[in-house]
Structure 1
Amino acid sequence: MAFSLKTKKARAVLNVIFSVGAAVVIFGALAKIEHWGGAMGRALEVGMLCETFVFVLMAFQPAEENYYWERFFPDINVSPEEEEKRTGSKFKPTFLNLPANGHARNPALNEMDKMLQEADVTPANLKRLSDNFQRLGTTVEKMSDVADVVTVTGEYTQHTREASAALVKMRDVYSNAANAVASFNNSAQSTHEFHSQIQQMTKNLASLNAIYELELQDTNNHLKAMNHFYSNLSAASQSMAGTIEDSRKTQEQVALLAKNLSNLNAVYGNMLSAMQGSRH
């Protein structure tokens, strides 16, 4: 919608709508002031609705584009009268020298074209100059090829020397590698012997572990037997302690019985004496 409102026709239609809406509002205000009745009394309400629609429509109106013509025409805001007072001569309008495409041509380009024409710089002369530069470049390249041959020969000699030195270093490296391989083989033999010794030691440790397990099992059985013996001994000791207590109580009862028997004998003796005395 904003794109369609940029056209000249759309601006004219908007201008008509704004004017009609303002006229309706003014007419409604007049009817309200004069207290006109009937349909005229509703004119203000209709005008306010029209004004609301107008303001909503104005929200979609695109902004005016401002062009800074002063950058290209510094005296665009100067009136002809001020120009005549400043220059002292009659004002003359300046016509733009526009090309066929409608764009203004830069004066500096006009001066450049004039200088090129005076120097007889034509496309044909420029082509001949380009051909001469190409021939010069070809000659320079050939001269550089000769220099390159000499340089390449020297570089080949230098590279040959470097290759010889590299071969000597490579020989030393292979010799060191052979020594390292021999040392590695010796180390491998020593490692094999060490591995055999480790295996033998592992077997011995396994045998010792089996013997230790048997001894540990015998010791455990012996400890169990000792614990059982000590348990029985403790029970026997407790039984003997009970027997001693019972013997002590029996001895006390026997002593008490002997005492009672002694008292009973005394009683019987007294009774017997009393009975004998009564007979006499």
Structure 2
Amino acid sequence: MSGSGFFASPLYKKIMAKVYGIGASVAILGALWKILHLPGASTMLIAGLGTEAIIFFLSAFEPPHEMPDWSLVFPELVGLEPRYNVGGGGGGGSELAALIQSGSIDASTVEQLGQGLKKLSDTASGLSQLNDASLATQAYLETMKSAAKSVGDLSTVQANLGQSAEVLAGSYQSTAKIVAESGAKFSEELTKTGSGFIETIKSTGENLVKSYQAIGESMSQQVNKIASDGQKYTEGLAEANQKLASLNSAYELQLSSINAQVSSSQELAHSLTEISKHLNQSVADTQLYKQEVANLSKTLSELNTIYGNMLSAMSGGGK
């Protein structure tokens, strides 16, 4: 049956051929975008399915496919067209038998026709298998969608894990920086403390030196005064000189002890691991220093007493 109008024209057929190809491309791209979860996947899927719907809508206006008149090519097929009886009798087989009996169709032609029908049946079976293959392909596509979604979820988890690792590394770096700064501050404070201790020792030593100098000057004055009184006090002067020498020796020993304490304090500032030992040693040296100062004060008091007695004796003898 031949169609009529625009939908049966060759132009419409050419347009529909382009529409089929381009529309199928858009539909495939929409499915691809959705499967891979690319940006704008929903929009692409809507565009693809919308294009597919338009194609099906336009294909509804196409005229049915024309069946060619094979009797023009094969004259022996004339009279084989199916006829429909309202009365319900099956006259097709009887007409074919009548044609064979009349000699219009020989047995070989009928055999060829049977083979053609068999091939047509095989082709229909193949089309059914193709439909099954299409269903299998659809199931495969669904599986690929699920796999792509799983891969996307895995990528998200890996990204979150990477961010957590970066945050943890930043926390470690911050902690290490704080510890390093605390250690530096502690070392600086310790150095300042050691320096202050050294300055204190130096100041104490200087005061002690000044005291020794004052005592020496006083002793010199006393000795000069005693020497001016006469030869009688030579022995006392020698004894005083001996004590003064002993006092100077003690002073030198004290200076050596102070220098040792200063060196120990400097080593304490450079060696954090031995700070406790050096501090204890410094405390012990300080106690020893106090004890020596006390002994020296006691000795000086005794010496002053002796000199006082000597002066008293000298004063009494002069009278």
- Structure with the greater relative contact order (CA < 8 A, sep ≥ 6): 1 or 2? 2
Q: Which has the higher helix share?
A: 2
Q: TM-score, normalised by structure 1?
A: 0.34
Larger-gyration structure (1/2): 1
Q: TM-score, normalised by structure 2?
A: 0.30
